[in-house]
Chain A
């Protein structure tokens, strides 16, 4: 079973829409959680960390449910510039690396 599972999409939404991405992780020893953004043919860049209490950064809200091993990202008032692939990422105890999901592709349409 994959460490991190995401719906690959694509999600095509109109400008101004609200869109939510979900991801699940398989290892209960997972420690830290992140969302990365990757533009076409570019490197991944950290979008935000995800905390159990939930956290918000402008139009972006991330939530973590440790009991269900589930992470979400909500984007409100979508902009054309939000078009990208969103990667769900976890770390776990005893491992030095990041575990990435396959990514969810978002296209915001004018």
Chain B
């Protein structure tokens, strides 16, 4: 498996422009997460989906941010309009919840992260 795929890897845009980040989760995973990483705030959970349905979007900073998951193999995070303070690395992660006993339970809840998209808003 290729792992979680994110595109683009780098994005430079000007303030006010729309930015769309894309993610392809690992096949068979039913959870998808969007995180943002900055030096000041570290890794922050923005939103996550289960079976393509948004479960918790309380981490989305404001209405300028929106996320969709139209099918099990694709998700987007959109920022419109973008601002310089949105500059960060955005990660997508996926996982598969397996209800089982024993040590394997922990491994089955592992979140697999993509390589990230480094966004710079000028």
A and B form one complex:
no
List residues of A whose CB falls within 8 A of some B CB: none
List residues of B whose CB falls within 8 A of some A CB: none
